[in-house]
Amino acid sequence: MSAAGAVRVRPHQPGADIALIECGLGVHDAPLSTAFVCVGDEISTEGEEGFLRGHGTQVVDGKLVATVCGVVERVNKLIYVKTLNSRYNAEQGDVIVGRVAEISGKAWRVDLKSRQESKLLLSAVHLPGGVQRRRNAEDELNMRFFFREGDLISAEIQSVHGDGSVALHTRSAKYGKLTHGQLVEVPPNLIKRQKQHFHTLEALGVELIIGCNGLVWVAPLRADRVAAEIGMDAKEAASEATATGPPPSKAQLEVVCRMANAVRVLTRLYMPVYPASIMAVYEAAMDDNVELRDMLEPDFLAVVVKQEAQRRSSAMQE
């Protein structure tokens, strides 16, 4: 590493990024939106008879008052406040990225950075070759063959039990152990729920898993993912790929780092993380010839904010 590439240390300035956003969006003097509430703010219920009090609200002296900071959401007569930041709250069908914490009995305990404890039962994993059979004692002994403690896995939430505990499953070739990539942590509120959370950007050679629990996985596209799509078994292919496959090229790794940094930029600016927004940041960096290590510098953040402001104003005009 040359002297020029040495790590630059910048003193942390609290609120600097926020100021940046305010400056870019011109919101500092905007009228206070009624949709956005702080703790103790009254939520208008005019014109609504018999509303339903939802999460984050409380009735005080006959008035509906927010108990958390966030955005007021209304569904028919239900009024609730969606907080700006919270722990991940599991919902059935979410794609998540989690870390195996321990092996207990017939299940792996997986850390989702969630409010609830989550378990991946042995019976809910995809066996090599996709065979369907009852899991026996031997499988139980071989559980570490699938996932060890500390492994990063992608999975889907199978169900949320009444007591708040979560059951996962990896009953598809696309779920499973994640290796050779980067994990970026994002506040789960920034993750936009979508139809698809697995993305393969073949042009860039990157695969992206946007876990609903706020963990984003960026990795170079590997042959086994392609193989999984054509029906080959991912785990076998993965073991082959890790054993024999060529290591990803430097260029490919740089793309991966850029994508990861794009996610970090969005996190810094507290903007929603979804494929289009990530790509927008990535492309902005490429257009401006921003170095990989400069992507998190204030100069580039300002560019991104400006771009976002433009996008929003044009969206509003439409």
Partner 1 sequence: GGFHRGGPPSGADAARRQIASSNRSSGPNSGPGGFRSERQQLLELVGVLGKKAMLPVAVFCFSKKRCDSCADALSSLDLSTGSEKAAVHAFVDRCLARLKEGDRKLPQILRLRDLMRRGIAVHHAGLLPIMKEVVEMLFCQGYIKVLFCTETFAMGVNAPTRTVVFHALRKHDGKNFRYLLPGEYTQMAGRAGRRGLDAVGHVLLVCWGDRDLYGESELRTMLTGSGVKLESQFRLTYGMILNLLRVEDLKVEDMLKRSFAEFHAQRAAPAGAAELAALEGELAAAAAAPWPATALGSSREEVEEYVALCEELEIIDAQLQDALITNKSFQQALVPGRLVLYGNPVNGLTEPAVVLGDAPAPPSPLPSASLTLNTAKPASFAVGTATTSSTGGTTVSGLSGTTATSSAASSDRRLYLLVLHRPGSMDEQHERQAEQERRAREGPGGGGRGFGGMTSLQSRKQQELDDMFSGMVKLGGAKGGGGGGGSGGGPPRPLPVPHYGCEAGIHFCVVADWTRSIVGVCRARIRLDGVDEILSCGGNWTTNAVRRALAAALRGIARTVDEAAAAAGSGGGGELPQLDPRVDFKIADVASVPALQARATLQSRRAALRPHRDPGLVEAFQLVRTRRRLERRSAELRHQLSDASLQQLPEFEQRVGVLQQLGYLAEDRSVTLKGRVCCEIQSTQDELVATEAVFSGLLGELSPEEAVALLSALVFQVLRGVGGAD
| Residues at the site binding partner 1, with contacts judged by CB under 8 A | 50-52, 73, 75-78, 91-93, 95, 156, 171-172, 193-198
Measured CA to CA, the distance from residue 252 to residue 246 in angstroms comes to: 12
CB 116 → partner 1: shortest distance, Å?
16
CB 30 → partner 1: shortest distance, Å?
26
Q: Is the dihedral of CA 25, 31, 32, 35 positive or negative?
A: negative
Q: Which is nearer to partner 1, 7 or 75 (CB)?
A: 75
Q: Which is nearer to partner 1, 40 or 93 (CB)?
A: 93
In this structure, are strands 78-83 and 52-53 parallel, antiparallel, or unpaired? parallel
Q: Which is nearer to partner 1, 28 or 77 (CB)?
A: 77
With CA atoms as reference, report the closest residue to 126 among 103, 153, 99: 153
Contacts of 294 (CB under 8 A, 6+ apart): 300
CB 194 → partner 1: shortest distance, Å?
6
CB 176 → partner 1: shortest distance, Å?
13
Q: Which is nearer to partner 1, 19 or 59 (CB)?
A: 59
| Residue whose entry in the numeric block shows the structure tokens 């899991």 | 135
Q: Which is nearer to partner 1, 110 or 284 (CB)?
A: 110
Q: 221-245: b or e for each residue (b if 16 or more CB lie within 10 Å)?
A: bbebbebbeeebbbbebbeebeeee
CB 45 → partner 1: shortest distance, Å?
12
